[in-house]
Amino acid sequence: MPENLPKDFIRQIIHQDSLGDPSCMTVTRFPPEPNGYLHLGHAKSICLNFGVAAENNGITFLRFDDTNPTKEDEIFVESIKRDVTWLGFDWGKKLTHASDYFDRFYLAAVSLIEKDLAYVDESEPEEIKRLRGTLTKPGVNSPYRDRSVEENLTIFEQMRDGEFADGKMILRAKIDMASPNMNLRDPAIYRIRHHQHQRTGDNWCIYPMYDFAHALSDAFEGITYSLCTLEFEDHRPLYDWFIRQVETKHRPRQIEFSRLNLAYSLTSKRKLNDLIEKGVVEGWDDPRLVTIAGMKRRGYPPAAILDFCQRIGVTKKDNIIEMGVLENCVRENLGNTSERRMGVLKPLKITISNYDKDQVEYLEAQNHPNFPDLGTRQMPFCRELYIERSDFLEDAPRKFFRLKPGGEVRLRYAYIIRCDEVIKNSSGEVIELICSFDPDTKSGSGKSDKKVKGTIHWVSAQHSVTSKVHLYDRLFKIPNPASSDNIELSINPQSLEIVQAELEASFAEESTPKVFQLERNGYFCIDNTDGKKRFNRIVTLRDSWAKIEKQALNS
């Protein structure tokens, strides 16, 4: 394969087409239905559609498929626009809605009736389903299929004028009830919905079906490549049939690719909405969800999501991507951009007995170990400190190099201390450690060559900022929760832990970075979504699920 040939098959197709017709502009579209928030699968589609157009000096339409007013809301429209913009894409003046074309859809349906290629069916829904047949049994013509053109035109106009109740009848395309492709067995084109539309109000009480509206919208907008996921592959003959029979000027080409399946996550809008309504998650922007709003609130950088979409590529093969791939993209992005801070998530108090109780010393700490240009900060050090509870073990194994009775450890940027006494409450719980420090071991002083194997982080108890920290983990405990009969039973009970943490004094300053690494604890961000300042863990420093995930996906 030549080095300059695009990597994925869609880009190769577009490349070959451009060789045959260099003047042909690449026009794509991202057509979400405004009935929920966008998720990571949509991000893949956004990157693909906007990406291939930009690479070929083309344009991309952001088109809202607003043909079902019973489920759609302007709130979702605005959220989708925010998400696409946040990811870094710009549709310019190419913002459209399927509802922009309601008049043209209606005229197109009339033209099909006039060609005797569509008819009004008054059969009950169950009867229509029965007559369609099965995958192994051909369908049977509806008793209304042979209505005259004149009668169909009259009834369809009456449908348009609101003379019939919801579900009373539908308009169907007249194609082939014996086709092996079920989608060609006289599919519905229009149904009756007496429901106010968010944009057109009460102007319409009949609404086009997705396959009909989507194909014609593509044609009306001059889309050259209609890129969609594999479940629409069997719909392609119907897509082409509508465009051919309506005789539009443009003939878009539909190309299918595999959808994004991410382990330990859920993207079904219906199932997500169910979890939201039951209070299992906070809302569409819950940081445990892979909705774009949820990932944004959790602190995922848009660049990491774009990197992830590029890494997984575009193929025709369905597979499940490991969650670790996404998390590693986040770690790699944040590793070089996030300043370091210190914070203790589960505090254990230590008192340094030989340190003056009235003394406060300010120690210099690096904001990033690899980028000196990010500067330093001053950390107050005093007699009473907090360390991470997990950094002390009373009955420690031989290779435990953190703090233990009689053991020594270095406090980062500070001194070497020794644990002299363990204080417990009446329940036997360790509540405080009495330690001593060696004043000659101050970091960077060069006074002592004494070395210890362990270094731990700390904060000044006197100056620390007490904060609520949300520790997020994967929402589900099984790789494919969508396959579960009861999704709620698949919820990971440790997906959210809220702790009262002690953070270093710099967090009281306005200049505190919005995204940062708490040393040894992971990457975090400041979240003010609900009007109250809290901290969210974006991702841990290491992938603790890697082995579990690989075993689960291979089982």
Give the single-character DSSP code of 44. Answer: H
Domain stop point among 231, 257, 283: 257
Q: Which pLDDT belongs to residue 554?
A: 58
Is the pLDDT reported for residue 4 higher than 90?
Answer: no
Tokens of 217: 């919208």
Same-domain pairing of 83 and 223: yes
Considering the domain boundaries, does residue 462 fall inside one?
no
CATH number at residue 397: 2.40.240.10
Considering the domain boundaries, does residue 421 fall inside one?
yes
Same-domain pairing of 329 and 424: no
Is the pLDDT reported for residue 5 higher than 80?
Answer: no
Over residues 206-234, the pLDDT tens digits come to: 999 999 999 999 999 999 999 999 999 99
Considering the domain boundaries, does residue 461 fall inside one?
no
Same-domain pairing of 109 and 235: yes
Q: What is the largest CA-CA distance in the chain?
A: 102
Same-domain pairing of 48 and 191: yes
Task: Yes or no: say if 207 and 193 are a contact pair by the CB < 8 Å rule.
Answer: yes
Domain stop point among 218, 233, 257: 257
Supply the range of the domain harboring residue 151.
9-257
pLDDT tier at 83 (50, 70, 90 boundaries)?
A: very high
Over residues 54-82, the pLDDT tens digits come to: 999 999 999 999 999 999 999 999 999 99
Same-domain pairing of 186 and 39: yes
Same-domain pairing of 42 and 185: yes
Is the pLDDT reported for residue 346 higher than 90?
Answer: yes
Q: Which pLDDT belongs to residue 2?
A: 46
pLDDT tier at 1 (50, 70, 90 boundaries)?
A: very low
Q: Which pLDDT belongs to residue 531?
A: 81
* CB neighbour list of residue 531: distance below 8 Å, 6 or more residues apart: none
Same-domain pairing of 120 and 227: yes
Return the CA Rg of the chain.
31
Give the single-character DSSP code of 533. Answer: -
Considering the domain boundaries, does residue 39 fall inside one?
yes
Same-domain pairing of 266 and 173: no
Same-domain pairing of 213 and 332: no
Q: Which pLDDT belongs to residue 485?
A: 83
Q: Which pLDDT belongs to residue 447?
A: 83
- Of the listed ranges 19-28, 238-247, 295-304, 343-352, the one predicted with least confidence: 19-28
Q: Which pLDDT belongs to residue 453?
A: 93
pLDDT tier at 532 (50, 70, 90 boundaries)?
A: confident
Q: Which pLDDT belongs to residue 547?
A: 62
- One-letter-per-residue 3-state SS of 435-483: EEEEHHHCCCCCCCCCCCCCEECEEECCCCEEEEEEEECCCECCCCHHH
Is the pLDDT reported for residue 481 higher than 90?
Answer: yes
- Of the listed ranges 35-44, 329-338, 381-390, 478-487, the one predicted with least confidence: 478-487
Considering the domain boundaries, does residue 1 fall inside one?
no
Structural domain count, the chain: 3
Distance from C-alpha of 319 to C-alpha of 380, rounded to nearest angstrom: 51
Same-domain pairing of 80 and 201: yes
- Of the listed ranges 1-5, 132-136, 324-328, 432-436, the one predicted with least confidence: 1-5
Q: Which pLDDT belongs to residue 553?
A: 52
* CB neighbour list of residue 198: distance below 8 Å, 6 or more residues apart: 34, 66, 69, 72, 73, 74, 77
Considering the domain boundaries, does residue 4 fall inside one?
no
Considering the domain boundaries, does residue 185 fall inside one?
yes
Same-domain pairing of 449 and 315: no
CATH number at residue 537: 1.10.1160.10
Distance from C-alpha of 274 to C-alpha of 268, rounded to nearest angstrom: 10
CATH number at residue 114: 3.40.50.620
Task: Yes or no: say if 377 and 462 are a contact pair by the CB < 8 Å rule.
Answer: no
pLDDT tier at 511 (50, 70, 90 boundaries)?
A: confident
Report, as residue numbers or ranges, the catalytic residues. 33, 259, 269
Over residues 310-333, the pLDDT tens digits come to: 999 999 998 899 999 999 999 999
Same-domain pairing of 250 and 281: no
Q: Which pLDDT belongs to residue 550?
A: 60
Is the pLDDT reported for residue 6 higher than 70?
Answer: no
Considering the domain boundaries, does residue 3 fall inside one?
no
Over residues 433-458, the pLDDT tens digits come to: 999 999 999 998 878 888 999 999 99
Mean pLDDT of the chain: 94
Quote the percentage of the chain above a pLDDT of 70: 97
Q: Which pLDDT belongs to residue 546?
A: 62
Domain stop point among 257, 277, 309: 257
Distance from C-alpha of 48 to C-alpha of 33, rounded to nearest angstrom: 18
Over residues 267-277, the pLDDT tens digits come to: 999 999 999 99
Q: What is the DSSP string of 483-525?
A: G-S-GGGGB-TTSEEEEEEEE-GGGGSTT--SEEEETTTEEEE
Over residues 146-157, the pLDDT tens digits come to: 999 999 999 999
